[in-house]
Chains A and B, each alone.
Chain A
Amino acid sequence: EPEVTQTPSHQVTQMGQEVILRCVPISNHLYFYWYRQILGQKVEFLVSFYNNEISEKSEIFDDQFSVERPDGSNFTLKIRSTKLEDSAMYFCATAQASGSNEQFFGPGTRLTVL
Protein backbone atom coordinates (compact mmCIF):
# COMPACT_ATOMS: atom_id res chain seq x y z
CA GLU A 1 0.00 0.00 0.00
CA PRO A 2 1.41 3.41 -0.93
CA GLU A 3 2.47 5.57 1.95
CA VAL A 4 3.85 8.98 2.78
CA THR A 5 7.47 8.93 3.88
CA GLN A 6 9.44 11.54 5.82
CA THR A 7 13.13 12.07 6.40
CA PRO A 8 14.90 12.32 8.68
CA SER A 9 13.03 10.54 11.44
CA HIS A 10 14.89 12.57 14.03
CA GLN A 11 16.86 15.79 13.61
CA VAL A 12 18.89 17.46 16.32
CA THR A 13 20.10 20.98 15.62
CA GLN A 14 21.54 23.99 17.37
CA MET A 15 19.43 27.09 17.88
CA GLY A 16 19.78 29.46 14.96
CA GLN A 17 20.58 26.75 12.42
CA GLU A 18 18.52 26.05 9.34
CA VAL A 19 16.74 22.72 8.99
CA ILE A 20 14.98 21.12 6.06
CA LEU A 21 12.42 18.43 6.66
CA ARG A 22 11.52 16.25 3.71
CA CYS A 23 8.36 14.45 2.71
CA VAL A 24 7.69 12.14 -0.22
CA PRO A 25 3.98 12.14 -0.98
CA ILE A 26 1.91 9.32 -2.40
CA SER A 27 2.46 9.53 -6.13
CA ASN A 28 -0.95 10.72 -7.38
CA HIS A 29 -1.56 13.11 -4.51
CA LEU A 30 -1.74 16.80 -5.30
CA TYR A 31 -2.42 18.43 -1.95
CA PHE A 32 0.22 18.65 0.74
CA TYR A 33 0.15 19.71 4.34
CA TRP A 34 2.54 20.24 7.24
CA TYR A 35 1.47 19.89 10.85
CA ARG A 36 3.33 20.33 14.13
CA GLN A 37 2.88 18.63 17.48
CA ILE A 38 4.80 19.98 20.44
CA LEU A 39 5.40 17.28 23.03
CA GLY A 40 2.29 16.74 25.12
CA GLN A 41 0.19 19.12 23.06
CA LYS A 42 -2.30 18.75 20.25
CA VAL A 43 -1.51 18.65 16.57
CA GLU A 44 -1.50 22.08 14.90
CA PHE A 45 -1.93 23.01 11.27
CA LEU A 46 1.01 24.85 9.71
CA VAL A 47 0.45 25.11 5.97
CA SER A 48 -1.30 23.63 2.96
CA PHE A 49 0.23 23.58 -0.53
CA TYR A 50 -1.21 22.96 -3.96
CA ASN A 51 -0.08 23.63 -7.51
CA ASN A 52 3.30 24.87 -6.32
CA GLU A 53 1.96 27.50 -4.03
CA ILE A 54 0.73 27.93 -0.50
CA SER A 55 -3.05 27.59 -0.26
CA GLU A 56 -3.34 28.49 3.37
CA LYS A 57 -1.11 28.99 6.38
CA SER A 58 -1.60 29.39 10.10
CA GLU A 59 -0.31 32.12 12.37
CA ILE A 60 2.48 29.74 13.43
CA PHE A 61 3.85 29.71 9.87
CA ASP A 62 5.81 32.95 10.03
CA ASP A 63 8.68 34.24 7.90
CA GLN A 64 11.05 31.67 9.40
CA PHE A 65 9.14 28.90 7.64
CA SER A 66 8.95 28.07 3.95
CA VAL A 67 7.74 25.17 1.85
CA GLU A 68 8.49 24.01 -1.65
CA ARG A 69 8.51 21.08 -4.06
CA PRO A 70 12.03 21.46 -5.41
CA ASP A 71 11.98 18.50 -7.78
CA GLY A 72 8.32 17.69 -8.28
CA SER A 73 8.40 14.79 -5.86
CA ASN A 74 9.80 15.86 -2.49
CA PHE A 75 7.82 18.34 -0.45
CA THR A 76 10.00 20.22 2.01
CA LEU A 77 9.55 22.36 5.08
CA LYS A 78 12.41 24.71 5.84
CA ILE A 79 12.91 26.49 9.12
CA ARG A 80 15.43 29.22 8.49
CA SER A 81 16.70 29.99 11.98
CA THR A 82 15.48 27.48 14.50
CA LYS A 83 14.36 28.45 17.98
CA LEU A 84 14.04 26.29 21.06
CA GLU A 85 10.26 26.42 20.75
CA ASP A 86 10.44 24.85 17.28
CA SER A 87 11.22 21.53 18.96
CA ALA A 88 8.29 19.31 18.01
CA MET A 89 7.14 16.44 15.86
CA TYR A 90 6.47 17.59 12.32
CA PHE A 91 4.01 15.61 10.24
CA CYS A 92 3.53 15.77 6.52
CA ALA A 93 0.17 14.74 5.10
CA THR A 94 -0.99 14.41 1.52
CA ALA A 95 -4.33 14.03 -0.22
CA GLN A 96 -5.51 13.23 -3.70
CA ALA A 97 -7.84 16.21 -3.68
CA SER A 98 -8.84 18.86 -1.23
CA GLY A 99 -12.13 19.21 0.57
CA SER A 100 -13.56 15.98 1.79
CA ASN A 101 -10.65 13.89 0.58
CA GLU A 102 -8.84 11.85 3.18
CA GLN A 103 -5.35 12.89 4.22
CA PHE A 104 -2.59 10.34 4.63
CA PHE A 105 0.02 11.12 7.25
CA GLY A 106 3.72 10.45 7.19
CA PRO A 107 5.48 8.96 10.24
CA GLY A 108 6.77 12.35 11.34
CA THR A 109 10.14 13.98 11.95
CA ARG A 110 11.09 14.68 15.53
CA LEU A 111 12.98 17.99 15.62
CA THR A 112 15.03 18.80 18.69
CA VAL A 113 16.53 22.28 18.93
CA LEU A 114 19.28 22.68 21.52
Chain B
Amino acid sequence: KNEVEQSPQNLTAQEGEFITINCSYSVGISALHWLQQHPGGGIVSLFMLSSGKKKHGRLIATINIQEKHSSLHITASHPRDSAVYICAVRLDATSGTYKYIFGTGTRLKVLA
Protein backbone atom coordinates (compact mmCIF):
# COMPACT_ATOMS: atom_id res chain seq x y z
CA LYS B 1 0.00 0.00 0.00
CA ASN B 2 1.31 3.46 -0.93
CA GLU B 3 2.03 5.72 2.02
CA VAL B 4 0.63 8.66 0.04
CA GLU B 5 -2.55 8.13 -1.94
CA GLN B 6 -4.13 10.65 -4.27
CA SER B 7 -7.58 10.70 -5.79
CA PRO B 8 -8.75 10.86 -8.40
CA GLN B 9 -5.91 9.64 -10.63
CA ASN B 10 -7.41 11.42 -13.64
CA LEU B 11 -9.87 14.27 -13.79
CA THR B 12 -11.46 16.04 -16.72
CA ALA B 13 -13.40 19.21 -16.05
CA GLN B 14 -15.10 21.94 -18.00
CA GLU B 15 -13.69 25.44 -17.80
CA GLY B 16 -15.12 27.27 -14.79
CA GLU B 17 -15.75 24.18 -12.69
CA PHE B 18 -14.66 23.89 -9.07
CA ILE B 19 -12.10 21.13 -8.71
CA THR B 20 -11.01 19.13 -5.69
CA ILE B 21 -8.01 16.82 -5.55
CA ASN B 22 -7.47 14.70 -2.46
CA CYS B 23 -4.40 13.36 -0.72
CA SER B 24 -4.36 10.85 2.15
CA TYR B 25 -1.27 9.64 3.92
CA SER B 26 -0.58 6.93 6.45
CA VAL B 27 2.64 8.18 8.03
CA GLY B 28 3.64 10.88 10.49
CA ILE B 29 4.54 14.05 8.67
CA SER B 30 6.09 17.41 9.42
CA ALA B 31 4.87 19.08 6.22
CA LEU B 32 2.86 18.47 3.09
CA HIS B 33 3.54 19.97 -0.33
CA TRP B 34 1.25 20.41 -3.27
CA LEU B 35 3.19 20.53 -6.52
CA GLN B 36 2.20 21.15 -10.11
CA GLN B 37 3.98 19.30 -12.91
CA HIS B 38 3.56 20.71 -16.39
CA PRO B 39 3.41 18.59 -19.56
CA GLY B 40 7.06 19.43 -20.24
CA GLY B 41 8.01 17.87 -16.91
CA GLY B 42 8.89 20.94 -14.83
CA ILE B 43 7.71 21.00 -11.22
CA VAL B 44 6.39 24.08 -9.46
CA SER B 45 5.71 24.24 -5.74
CA LEU B 46 2.19 25.47 -5.07
CA PHE B 47 1.81 25.19 -1.32
CA MET B 48 3.53 23.88 1.74
CA LEU B 49 1.28 23.13 4.70
CA SER B 50 1.72 21.86 8.19
CA SER B 51 -1.73 22.87 9.44
CA GLY B 52 -4.90 24.70 8.47
CA LYS B 53 -5.47 26.29 5.12
CA LYS B 54 -3.62 28.38 2.54
CA LYS B 55 -4.93 30.35 -0.41
CA HIS B 56 -3.14 31.71 -3.45
CA GLY B 57 -5.23 33.19 -6.21
CA ARG B 58 -7.71 30.53 -7.34
CA LEU B 59 -5.95 27.77 -5.44
CA ILE B 60 -6.82 26.71 -1.91
CA ALA B 61 -5.10 23.96 0.07
CA THR B 62 -6.31 22.49 3.33
CA ILE B 63 -4.90 19.90 5.66
CA ASN B 64 -6.44 17.92 8.50
CA ILE B 65 -3.61 16.47 10.57
CA GLN B 66 -5.86 14.26 12.70
CA GLU B 67 -7.46 12.66 9.64
CA LYS B 68 -4.18 12.59 7.69
CA HIS B 69 -5.82 14.19 4.72
CA SER B 70 -5.26 17.21 2.51
CA SER B 71 -7.24 18.71 -0.34
CA LEU B 72 -6.30 21.03 -3.16
CA HIS B 73 -9.14 23.10 -4.59
CA ILE B 74 -9.13 25.06 -7.82
CA THR B 75 -11.90 27.61 -8.23
CA ALA B 76 -13.04 28.80 -11.66
CA SER B 77 -10.80 26.29 -13.44
CA HIS B 78 -9.13 27.24 -16.70
CA PRO B 79 -7.49 25.20 -19.47
CA ARG B 80 -4.09 26.53 -18.34
CA ASP B 81 -4.64 24.67 -15.04
CA SER B 82 -4.23 21.41 -16.97
CA ALA B 83 -1.28 19.62 -15.38
CA VAL B 84 -0.41 16.82 -13.00
CA TYR B 85 -0.90 17.79 -9.36
CA ILE B 86 1.33 15.97 -6.91
CA CYS B 87 1.04 15.64 -3.16
CA ALA B 88 4.33 15.10 -1.32
CA VAL B 89 4.82 14.62 2.41
CA ARG B 90 7.90 15.16 4.51
CA LEU B 91 8.15 12.45 7.10
CA ASP B 92 8.71 13.33 10.72
CA ALA B 93 10.87 11.88 13.47
CA THR B 94 8.43 9.03 14.16
CA SER B 95 9.41 7.51 10.82
CA GLY B 96 13.11 7.67 11.63
CA THR B 97 13.69 9.68 8.48
CA TYR B 98 12.89 13.12 7.18
CA LYS B 99 12.72 12.24 3.53
CA TYR B 100 9.92 13.19 1.16
CA ILE B 101 7.43 10.69 -0.21
CA PHE B 102 5.44 11.58 -3.30
CA GLY B 103 1.98 10.58 -4.42
CA THR B 104 1.44 9.27 -7.94
CA GLY B 105 -0.23 12.50 -9.00
CA THR B 106 -3.63 13.55 -10.31
CA ARG B 107 -3.75 14.32 -14.01
CA LEU B 108 -6.13 17.24 -14.55
CA LYS B 109 -7.44 18.29 -17.92
CA VAL B 110 -9.64 21.36 -18.14
CA LEU B 111 -11.59 21.71 -21.35
CA ALA B 112 -12.48 25.06 -22.86
A positions within 8 Å CB-CB of B = 33, 35, 37, 41-45, 48, 55-56, 58, 89, 91, 98-105, 107-108, 110
Contact = CB atoms under 8 A, between A and B. Distances in A.
Most buried by A among B43, B45, B102: B43
Nearest to A47: B99
Contact size range, B: 20 to 34
Given A43-B88, A100-B31, A108 B98 contact: no
Nearest to A99: B30
B60 interface: no
A20 B104 CA distance: 27
B61 to A, nearest CB: 12
Interface in B22-57: 30-31, 33, 35, 41-45, 48, 50
A103 B48 CA distance: 9
Interface of B: 30-31, 33, 35, 41-45, 48, 50, 86, 88, 90, 97-105
B43 A91 contact: yes
B104 A42 contact: yes
B42 A42 contact: no
